[in-house]
Structure 1
Amino acid sequence: MEVARPKAVTSQKKPKRQRLARRGRRIGRLTVIATPEASGDLAALDEENRRLKGLLVQRLRQENTILKKMLERFETN
């Protein structure tokens, strides 16, 4: 006895949308040119990111310590 199997449905990819400018004009691809000033700014941003990540890690560790102490207090009851 043969079982009727559904046919595989082929998916058609939708064309990618182009971004629209404020007045509805299409925007093409953007090209970024790195200048020495831009690379200096990039280095400064990278340094600030590292500093901020370090502060976030420090704060999260402090919060974890506080939360662990709170849990210990409630677990002993």
Structure 2
Amino acid sequence: GTCIGISRWPVRDHNHHTTTDMWLYRAYSGNLYHGGELVRTLPSFTQGDTITCILDMEAHTISFAKNDKEPKLAFEG
């Protein structure tokens, strides 16, 4: 499946269910992954949708917005 997100280099674990090297947003389900599946989900997305990713290095957060909607917090810490 399609995922978008942020990763650190080098990625040592490419499995989205277990990796702590990536912070991922899965297209078909809206599930979020970092070190396992998180409780929080976001809206699913598909071809034709526009996804914005906001990485705030000062606040240590990653947020995503779908189709010009208000960004939703996905990861913090």
TM-score, normalised via structure 2 length: 0.17
Larger Rg: 1
Report the structure, 1 or 2, having the larger helix content: 1
Report the structure, 1 or 2, having the larger strand content: 2
Higher RCO by CA contacts (8 Å cutoff, separation 6 or greater): 2
TM-score, normalised via structure 1 length: 0.17
